[in-house]
């Protein structure tokens, strides 16, 4: 039996009819066409599918869509909400060369967002720990860590200009 669920994704409300065995990742990508969130390992190891549910980072590939009924979902598409001005995290990723093939990027950026909201001034060790649930097979980890440190600075200085973390 299909279940009727409500999701708020990046500020937009959706009412959906979903089969209980479909994951949040499938519903985001296939029903809502939000393909920025990737599917990597499918077992919660690689972090490519990371989204925020009520502000907490989770692996969307092993989260059932029915289990997040009524919740607020944030995906990488919500980072640059206007579609024009990039989020400071995205600016930093570009500037520091933290993107190679790009497959891990959406997940990395969502974990960066989660980390920086909890801890606006992380140490390098804390950034690395915050990224420990992510794999980058291009192995550009150093640039990603640098980008997040840079984003932390940027968000502190941008905050006065009304950029939300």
Q: Which residues contact 114 (CB under 8 A, 6 or more apart)?
A: 52, 55, 56, 57, 130
Q: What are the CA-CA distances from residue 123 to residues 45, 77, 127, 159 (Å)? A: 24, 27, 6, 20
Smallest gap from Cβ 148 to another protein, in A, equals 13
Rank residues 78 and 130 by Cβ distance to another protein and give the closer one: 130
By the rule CB under 8 A, 61 interacts with another protein: yes
- Part of the chain binding another protein (CB under 8 A), chosen from 13-21, 30-38, 95-103, 146-154: 13-21
Could you write out the DSSP letters of every residue in 78-97? GTTTTSSSPPHHHHHHHHTT
Asked if residues 96 and 131 have their Cβ atoms less than 8 Å apart, the reply is no
Residue of 12, 151, 4 whose CA lies nearest to 86:
151
Q: Is 114 in the site for another protein (CB under 8 A)?
A: yes
- The window from 28-36, 61-69, 85-93, 96-104 that contacts another protein (CB under 8 A) reads 61-69
Would you say 69 or 158 has its CB closer to another protein? Answer: 69
**Which residues are at the interface with another protein (CB under 8 A)?**
1, 3, 19-23, 26, 42-45, 47, 50, 56-59, 61-64, 66-67, 69, 111, 114, 129-130, 132-133
């Amino acid at each position: 039996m299909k279940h009727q669920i409500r999701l708020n994704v990046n500020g937009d409300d959706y009412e959906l009819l979903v089969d209980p065995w479909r994951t949040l990742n499938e519903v985001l990508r296939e029903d809502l066409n939000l393909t920025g969130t990737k599917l990597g390992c499918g077992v919660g190891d690689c972090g490519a599918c990371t989204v925020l549910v009520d502000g907490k980072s989770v692996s969307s590939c092993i989260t059932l869509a029915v289990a997040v009924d009524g919740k607020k979902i944030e995906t990488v598409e919500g980072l640059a909400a206007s579609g024009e001005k990039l989020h400071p995290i995205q600016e930093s990723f570009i500037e520091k060369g933290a993107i190679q093939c790009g497959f891990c990027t959406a997940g990395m950026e969502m974990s960066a967002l989660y980390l920086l909201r909890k801890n606006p001034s992380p140490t390098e060790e804390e950034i690395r720990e915050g990224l420990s649930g992510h794999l980058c097979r291009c192995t550009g980890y150093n640039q990603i860590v640098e980008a997040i440190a840079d984003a932390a600075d940027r968000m502190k200085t941008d905050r006065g200009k009304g950029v939300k973390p």
